[in-house]
Structures are given as C-alpha cells and as structure tokens.
Amino acid sequence: MISKATEKPDGIFNQIELGHGIVLHYLPETKWKTLSIDVFFKIPAMADKLTALSLVPRLATRGTQRLPSVQDISRFLEDLYGAGMSADARKVGPIQVIRFGIDLPSPSHLGVDMSGSRNSLISRAVSFVWDLATRPNLRDGAYPQEVFEVEREEHRRAITGLINNRPYYATLSLLHEISQGDPRGLPAWGTLADLDRVNPRDTWDIWKQMLAQCPISIYVIGDGAEEVAGFLSGCQLWFPCDRSEQLLDISEQLDPPPAPENVLRVEEFLPGEQTILCMAFETGIREGDPQLPAMLFCDGILGGFPHSKLFSVVREQHGLAYFSDTIPNTWRGLIIATSGISDTDRRDVEQLIVSQVEAMSKGDISDEEMESTRMGLVRRLMTEDDSQRALVMRSLSHEILGGMATPQTLADAILKVTKEEVIKVASQMKLKAVYTLRAKEDAIG
C-alpha cells in the first residue's frame, strides 16, 4: 500500500512508502539542472555473503535482460540525452549498501514530456535503474560465466590496488583489526579469500535472496523529482521473487563491536617510502549523541585543518611527519589520527600525538583554534548544500545511524559548541589501537 507523502520534521526530503520496506525520499529542487535517481539496498554485514554482494553492482552494469550488453546500455544512455549510470557497494556504519543510480538532464530543461507516460524520459530512466537491480542479464539462472570471471578479476585488482593509497589502506586495516573478527569490520568489497570461492549461480541466488529480504531506500533529487515520485507512486515495482513478510532488521547491527580493553598494537611491513601510523581514540560518542557536535569540533582542533594541532605541532614545529591529520568515525565513536612518517620516528610521533590529546583535555585550546575550527567545520558542511550526492548520503546516513539529518542542523549545533564541551570530549578520549604500516626498506626493527 502506498502511503501519503510526508515530510520529516528533521529532514529536507519528502517521503512516500511505496511498499513493504520500500521508502521513496524525494527533493524537488530547481537549482540543479540534473535529476539524480539512486536505489539503495540496505543489508546487514554477513561474512558469508558480503563479498558476493559486492560483485553485484559490477555485474549489473554489464547488461540487463532488456539491454544485454555494455554496447546496448551505452546506446540507451546516449538516447537518454547522455545520461550517466553508476553502481557500487559501500558501507554506512556496519551496513553494506548496494547502490544503483542514474543522473540525467532535468526533463523540464529539455522540454520533454513530464506526464510519466510509458515512453517518457522519467519512466525510461526509472525502469532502467530498477532493471539494473532486479533484471540482470542471466544465462540459465546465473550470471554468464565469462562476464563473471572478468568482473571478479577486475574486483580483485581493485582490492589489491588499495595498497597504492597507503593512508587509506592503513585506516581500513586499523578498523578491521579493532573489530577483532566481527563481520561488521569487513570493508564493503569483501575479502580476496572469499572472492576465490564465489561463483555465478550462488552470487545471483544470494542477491535474489537479499532482494526479497532487505529494506530499500529510493532517493530522487533535482528538478523533476516530484514527477518521479508521482510516477513511482503509480508503479508496481517488480522483483524476481516475492518480498518476505519478515525483512532483515538492520537496527540489530548498529551497536559497534566492543573496543579492546588494552591498547591493540599491530604492525605490517610493505614496500614504500613512508611508514603510516594510525591511532584510534575512543570517545564514547556516536551519531545521535548530544555531544556529537563537540566530538567533531574536537576532531577538527586535533587534526583535519591547517591550523590543527597535528599539522602545526607534529609536522611544522617538530618536522616529524609528511602529513598528520584525523578523521572521525561517528558509528564507532572513534577519532582516528593518521600520519605519514619516517619509520625511525614512529614511537616519537605516537607519544607526541598522545601528548596533544592530553593537552586538549587540560584546556590547552586557544580562542583562535576554537573560531578557526568553527568556521572550517561550518564551511565544510555548507558545501554539502550544493551537492546532490552529499545531501543524499547525509540523509541515508541519518536513516541508518540516526543523528542530524541536514548539514544546516549540524552547522547550527557547531555554532553553539563551547570550549568546555570540547575539553570534556578530549578528556574522554582513550587510545584503543595503534596500527603501523611500516615501509619495508626503511624499517629497522
């Protein structure tokens, strides 16, 4: 049953329930000349399924039942005024999210039919995205073997290529280690070991099972979003199998794995010019916590900006880092400090970073640091208002993890944060894990 459209009190997207576990979020906005349609399938992280599911977006873009080849899809998109297709697997907190999307010129700017009729631009775009998700090109009930092999090898190369971005690889490794075997700590693309075990038939069967069981969010943003909502409201969305009455409950996975009691230390040796030092500080503050704005503020003062302590002290004053900054993980309640250093300096840098956290907890925060961080955070948040993708992802994160639904709401809260609140967060920070990706030729033991 389709419910009446409602607007969330703390969000900017209108909502329509299209069916059991299927919610449409739409935002008509004329400042963009493009219309973006994304379908998100939200799946709890399952170790035995995660890698196979990560292949699904790749396989989908190789062909659908109506457009069975890459060439067919390319011609279709060209006919759709040069529309762009995308699909990927990602993580939002502990939840694996499989996305299929299309970006196309707004129908009103093209002067084409906005009626939602079968041959209109909107109906063709919506049908195509839904086909990507539910009607892939199959052979005897499985993905074609030759297509599957090609995409599996491409996926393998993408995973092994992560090491070329050493800071990113180190951060992922830190999060995996701190999860201590919990599948929620696995990356969205799975593991190389599981990649060797997946096959075309099982992958389709797993995806078909998820299509029946997982909650689905459809996001439409841009000029023409209201027309898409009208079209979808009159549609009966097709699935390759019946939707289950009992959907997967993603809320059961939202509590993060417990952090280790003692500081976890892990080292890995890989060729490279820099050693990467990653340190995870637990704050106890997660999405939805009233202290979250102060946590983001604390993260900004410690790292993330040119005026931040890690940049000014570790890099500039002591000359011990090629770079040194932080990122917050608001699902786990972590602030992660990452530094590119010479291997011989790793212990000194670790001690120096810990000392900066201790100094903040004792009130060593200047008024200039407070205001520079405040302006930097607000400016960063306000750029989201100009990005369709950023607004969609913030709303999706709010759906899954809770917290503040709009950049403006969070910016307003940032403006009210006091120095005392930041000091309180710093005093709660506890070092929980240190992961060191050591440069092989530079490592001396």
pLDDT digits (tens, 9 = 90+) for 270-315: 988 899 999 999 999 999 999 999 999 999 999 989 999 999 999 9
The answer to whether residue 100 sits within a structural domain is: yes
Let me know whether 224 and 311 are in one domain: no
Q: What is the pLDDT of residues 20-43, one digit of tens each?
A: 999 999 999 988 989 999 999 999
Q: Verify that 221 and 310 share a domain, yes or no.
A: no
Tokens of 351: 């001690």
Tell whether 211 and 149 lie within a shared domain: yes
Closest by CA position to 384, among listed 340, 414, 349, 429: 414
Helix boundaries (H) for 313-406: 346-361, 367-383, 388-401
Q: 12 falls in which pLDDT band (50, 70, 90)?
A: confident
Residue 257 lies in a domain: no
Q: Show Cβ contacts of residue 305 under 8 Å, excluding neighbours closer than 6 positions.
A: 311, 372, 373, 376
- CA distance to 303, 304, 314, per residue, from 309 (Å): 6, 9, 7
**Do 56 and 104 lie in a common domain?**
yes
With contact defined as beta carbons under 8 Å apart, do 113 and 231 qualify? no
Q: How confident is the model at residue 329 (pLDDT cuts 50, 70, 90)?
A: very high
Q: Does 222 lie in the same domain as 196?
A: yes
Phi–psi pair at 382, nearest 5 degrees: -70, -25
Task: Give the span between the Cα atoms of 29 and 37, in whole angstroms.
Answer: 13
* Count of domains observed in the chain: 2
In a domain, 435, yes or no: yes
Residue 81 lies in a domain: yes
Q: Is residue 259 part of a domain?
A: no
Q: Are residues 48 and 185 in the same domain?
A: yes
SS3 191: coil
- Confidence (pLDDT) at 443: 53
In a domain, 258, yes or no: no
Q: What are phi and psi of 330, to 5 degrees?
A: -80, -10
Residues for the chain: how many in total? 445
195 shares its domain with 344: no
Q: Specify whether 80 is located in the same domain as 168.
A: yes
- Report pLDDT for 107: 77
Residues 183 and 310 reside in one and the same domain: no
Q: How many CB atoms lie within 10 A of CB 14?
A: 18
Which among 220, 252, 284 is the end of a domain? 252
Q: What average pLDDT score do residues 327-356 get?
A: 97
**DSSP-derived pairing of the beta strands 264-270 and 275-282:** unpaired
Tell whether 291 and 216 lie within a shared domain.
Answer: no
Q: What is the pLDDT of residues 90-106, one digit of tens each?
A: 999 999 999 999 999 98
Mean pLDDT over all residues of the chain? 93
Give me the domain span that covers residue 393.
264-442
Contacts of 214 (CB under 8 A, 6+ apart): 21, 41, 42, 43, 247, 248
Note the pLDDT of residue 6. 47
CATH number (domain holding residue 122): 3.30.830.10
Instruction: Indicate whether 222 and 280 sit together in one domain.
Output: no
- Of 252, 284, 312, the last residue of a domain is 252
Same domain as 323, residue 189: no
Task: List C-alpha distances in Å: 402 to 249, 252, 260, 284, 395.
Answer: 15, 14, 25, 16, 9
Question: What is the reported pTM?
Answer: 0.93
Report the percentage of the chain scoring pLDDT > 90: 87
Among 252, 281, 301, give the residue marking a domain's end: 252
Band (116; pLDDT cuts 50, 70, 90) = very low
